[in-house]
């Protein structure tokens, strides 16, 4: 098992008493502030030692998130900025709202700037002035999907320009809400800030609708994504069942990790084939998708296929293109499968009716469900607590069901993927009843 460095960087000693009043209800002399010394185990799996003790497989501990008794920044001096980057995701507005409310009501911060369209709003070329944020502006924004700040890809590599802007604006806390690329940008911004000797805290809130960031139990928006995908699969199932040899084909997000597809298959028993990047499959041959599909149609008359966008990329020629975030542009596996299926059954001289649905924009733009609303409310508040305590190059996350502070560089060091030997995938196979392997 690898070892990880979970220690958090700070701008300096936190000396200012927190304005947050905490009662000491149980009279043990300790109010419910969180101390930097409150740490949880990262690894809960155990091994037996030679002397018969059960110990965790690895000893690393992770710092709990939460309000500290002493803070680093004087709230009245704070100018905080918030940027949302990359594709939209359910819960963005909830996180913005939680950050603004916690800054305003709990710490008394009065200068909060909403940067427009991600890092691009921090570039000298930006034509969009920041939005002044306060509790009135963010009231009710969580009822809508998307982000009131707008979002855009790219810009994160112009580190020097961005730090120039932060200096010019006198920003001392920067919250960046975004995915892998955004967090890499945040880390680079932090490095530049450090190199310049500035006292600007950079705090990330990890966003990935694919749920593929390492060290993050579940990313915000993921639950909403799954619950938004479920009715679409239901539609595909109805279309499939209502036609002669009907095939419902649904593509969901999941560039490198099939979590949305896997969870949707568990939530919805209508899926017969769940195709994810982590579990390569063949089209032809005994174990291949197409013959299996034919078998299914012959026995049941209809089928539903749920495919993650990153699945089966080895089967189709790469586009070779990248988007503004530098991500490889994938060929559309959904359209590819649709055409392959049509071709195959034409060869088999078998009438089919295939309906392809791509609900990505519908899923991305959904407002957060109650699970994500709660999660985002707490995530945002904890990001503020970390920032006010002077922590930097840090993000707020959840591990073992607890909110924790995590070094940004750790979160971007690797990807989280569906382990095809895990209980999760085992349960997916149980639900879809698809074969364990579709590789010849």
Q: Could you say which residues in the range 256-295 bind its own copies, by CB under 8 A? A: 263-264, 266-269
What the block records as the tokens of 196 is 């310049």
Residue 163: its H or E element: helix 159-169
Q: Kindly write out the interface string for residues 130-169 of this chain, putting x where it contacts its own copies by CB under 8 A and - elsewhere.
A: ---------x--xxxxxx--xxx-----------------
For the CB of residue 16, give the shortest distance to its own copies in the complex, in Å: 19
Q: Would residue 210 show up in a list of annotated catalytic residues for this protein?
A: yes
C-beta of 158 vs 431, nearer to its own copies: 431
Q: Which DSSP string corresponds to 199-255? A: --EEEEEE--TT--BTT-SS-TTHHHHHHHHHHHHHHHHHHHHTSTTEEEEEEE--S
For the CB of residue 214, give the shortest distance to its own copies in the complex, in Å: 15
User: 79 with 113: CB under 8 angstroms?
Assistant: yes
Tell me which of 38, 134, 180, 210 is the catalytic residue.
210
For the CB of residue 240, give the shortest distance to its own copies in the complex, in Å: 9
Q: Per CB under 8 A, which region of 102-110, 158-166, 286-294, 339-347 contacts its own copies?
A: 102-110
254 binds its own copies (CB under 8 A): no
Name which position in 15, 35, 59, 329 contacts its own copies (CB under 8 A): 59
For the CB of residue 420, give the shortest distance to its own copies in the complex, in Å: 6
Place of tokens 């979970």: 6
Place of tokens 């560039």: 255
C-beta of 317 vs 423, nearer to its own copies: 423
Q: Tell me the C-alpha distance between 79 and 170, whole Å.
A: 7
Residue 392, CA atoms < 13 Å, CB-side half-sphere: 25
Name which position in 1, 15, 76, 105 contacts its own copies (CB under 8 A): 105
316 binds its own copies (CB under 8 A): no
Q: Tell me the C-alpha distance between 279 and 110, whole Å.
A: 50
What the block records as the tokens of 120 is 């691009």
User: 146 with 111: CB under 8 angstroms?
Assistant: no
Q: Tell me the C-alpha distance between 8 and 369, whole Å.
A: 31
Q: Residue 408: which of 223, 228, 252, 185 has the closest Cα?
A: 185
Residue 292: its H or E element: helix 289-300
C-beta of 198 vs 331, nearer to its own copies: 331
Q: Per CB under 8 A, which region of 61-69, 162-170, 182-190, 311-319 contacts its own copies?
A: 61-69
Near its own copies in 162-221, by CB under 8 A: 217
C-beta of 198 vs 353, nearer to its own copies: 353
Q: Kindly write out the interface string for residues 350-369 of this chain, putting x where it contacts its own copies by CB under 8 A and - elsewhere.
A: -----x-x-x-xx-xxx--x
What number of chain residues touch its own copies (CB under 8 A)? 96
Near its own copies in 221-240, by CB under 8 A: 223, 226-227, 230-232, 234-236, 238-239
101 binds its own copies (CB under 8 A): yes
Q: Tell me the C-alpha distance between 215 and 396, whole Å.
A: 10
User: 118 with 182: CB under 8 angstroms?
Assistant: yes
315 binds its own copies (CB under 8 A): no
Near its own copies in 379-418, by CB under 8 A: 381, 400-403
Q: Residue 82: which of 225, 178, 220, 221 has the closest Cα?
A: 178
Near its own copies in 78-97, by CB under 8 A: 88, 97
Residue 60, CA atoms < 13 Å, CB-side half-sphere: 13
335 binds its own copies (CB under 8 A): no
Nearby residues of 421 by Cβ (< 8 Å), 6 or more positions away? none
1 binds its own copies (CB under 8 A): no
For the CB of residue 128, give the shortest distance to its own copies in the complex, in Å: 8
For the CB of residue 336, give the shortest distance to its own copies in the complex, in Å: 17
Name which position in 34, 333, 394, 438 contacts its own copies (CB under 8 A): 34
User: 404 with 63: CB under 8 angstroms?
Assistant: yes
User: 160 with 124: CB under 8 angstroms?
Assistant: no
For the CB of residue 110, give the shortest distance to its own copies in the complex, in Å: 17
Active-site annotation, residues: 210
């Amino acid at each position: 098992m690898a070892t990880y460095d979970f220690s958090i960087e700070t701008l300096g000693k936190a000396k200012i008493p927190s304005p947050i009043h905490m009662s000491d209800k149980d009279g043990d002399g300790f109010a419910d502030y969180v101390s930097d010394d409150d740490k949880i185990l990262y690894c809960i799996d155990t091994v037996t030692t030679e002397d018969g003790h059960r110990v965790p497989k690895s000893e690393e501990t992770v710092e709990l998130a939460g309000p500290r008794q002493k803070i680093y920044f004087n709230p009245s001096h704070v100018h905080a900025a918030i940027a949302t980057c990359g594709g939209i995701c359910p819960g963005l507005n909830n996180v913005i709202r939680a950050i603004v409310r916690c800054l305003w009501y709990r710490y008394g911060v009065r200068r909060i700037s909403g940067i427009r369209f991600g890092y691009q709003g921090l570039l000298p070329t930006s034509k969009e002035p920041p939005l002044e944020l306060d509790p009135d502006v963010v009231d009710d924004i969580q009822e809508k999907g998307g982000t009131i700040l707008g979002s855009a890809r790219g810009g994160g590599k112009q580190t020097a320009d961005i730090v120039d802007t932060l200096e010019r604006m006198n920003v001392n806390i920067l919250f960046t809400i975004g995915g892998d690329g955004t967090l890499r940008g945040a880390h680079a911004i932090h490095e530049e800030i450090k190199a310049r000797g500035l006292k600007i805290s950079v705090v990330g809130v990890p966003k990935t609708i694919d749920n593929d960031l390492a060290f993050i139990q579940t990313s915000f928006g993921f639950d909403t994504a799954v619950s938004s995908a479920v009715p679409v699969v239901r539609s595909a199932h109805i279309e499939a069942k209502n036609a002669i040899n009907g095939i419902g084909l649904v593509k969901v997000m999941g560039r490198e990790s099939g979590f949305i597809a896997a969870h949707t298959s568990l939530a919805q028993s209508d899926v017969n084939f769940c195709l994810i990047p982590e579990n390569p499959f063949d089209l032809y041959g005994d174990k291949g998708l197409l013959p299996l599909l034919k078998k299914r149609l012959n026995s049941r008359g209809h089928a539903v296929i749920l495919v993650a966008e990153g699945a089966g990329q080895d089967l189709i020629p790469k586009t070779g293109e990248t988007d503004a975030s530098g991500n490889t542009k994938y060929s559309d596996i959904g359209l590819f499968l649709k055409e392959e299926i049509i071709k195959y059954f034409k060869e088999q001289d078998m009438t089919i009716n295939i309906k392809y649905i791509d609900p990505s924009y519908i899923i991305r733009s959904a407002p957060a469900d109650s699970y994500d609303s709660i999660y985002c409310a707490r995530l945002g508040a904890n990001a503020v607590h970390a920032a006010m305590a002077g922590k930097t190059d840090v993000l707020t996350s959840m591990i073992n069901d607890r909110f924790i502070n995590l070094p940004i560089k750790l979160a971007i060091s690797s990807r989280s993927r569906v382990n095809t030997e895990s209980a999760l995938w085992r349960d997916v196979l149980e639900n879809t009843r698809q074969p364990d392997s579709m590789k010849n």
